[in-house]
Amino acid sequence: MDAIDSIDLPTTRRKLTRPLSGTVSLLMRLTIAGLVLPPLVGSLEDGHPYLWGFGPRVICATVSLNGLMQSGGQPLAFMRPGMTSSAANVNVCAAHPTLSQRFLVTLTQAPSTLLALGVLVMLTLIIQAVRRNGPFDLSVTRRLRFLAWFGLLAALGVNALQGYGAAAFSATAQRQPPGSLDPITVPVGLDTFNALFDNLLPLLLVMCGLLTLARIIRIGAQMHDDLAGTV
């Protein structure tokens, strides 16, 4: 019983959340700094802020080579006989971007940062719930389950948005090849669909791990309440 009682002490609850609490706090500060510092530094350098494709500078996005290189195109490096080189992605830049191009570049960068910020906020709420109510509390399990499903669905949405942004931006860079009757078209829909399933297996494993942890904590919460009722 002494071990169970010690869990309800505030100092013990704080120790239970380490090192996750310190890591989340550090990452939260770095993420916020990454959102605040670029416009600040840009203002100090040339008087114009910039962030996620918006600003006076050249904008670039990492895009797939689909539709940008014809089959049988030149290799990206000179290799030994029998060896070839290629790349799945390249950087495409616009020196004088339009508003729509800026928006597309924003789609390739902003969603993942916002998702990371959202996950950090939810982890902070879970840590606060543990410190306030202890680890054996149903609020912890509810937040873990929400984080599991939100993480999976939001990550799939981010993959699709960034894949679409990159493909649509690369489509604005291609033009009719000289002397060709058939233009090279960027498969925006296919690239978006393929990007949707990027890192799907790790996402499923993380989701299953969080749901399993939530179930274990729920059972522990029930056992904790039963033991507290027998005292």
Dump pLDDT digits (tens) for 74-91. 545 555 565 555 667 778
pLDDT of residue 87: 63
* Model confidence band, residue 205 (pLDDT cutoffs 50, 70, 90): very high
pLDDT of residue 59: 82
Dump pLDDT digits (tens) for 91-140. 888 888 888 988 999 999 899 989 999 999 999 999 998 888 877 788 88
Q: How many other CB atoms are found less than 10 A from the CB of residue 58?
A: 10
- For residues 217-228, give the mean pLDDT: 72
Residue 214 predicted with pLDDT over 80: yes
pLDDT of residue 44: 59
Angle at 91 between CA 94 and CA 27, to 5 degrees: 105
Contact 126, 140 (CB under 8 A): yes
Predicted TM-score of the model (pTM)? 0.75
- For residues 154-178, give the mean pLDDT: 85
- Average pLDDT over the chain, rounded to whole? 78
In whole angstroms, how far apart are CA 159 and each of 57, 64, 162, 195, 204?
A: 26, 14, 5, 5, 14
Contact 129, 143 (CB under 8 A): yes
Helical spans, DSSP H, in 74-137: 99-133
Dump pLDDT digits (tens) for 19-40. 888 888 998 888 888 877 777 6
Query: Measured between alpha carbons, how far apart are the two ends of the chain, in Å?
Result: 9
Percent of the chain with pLDDT over 90: 21
How many Cα neighbours within 13 Å face the side chain of 65?
13
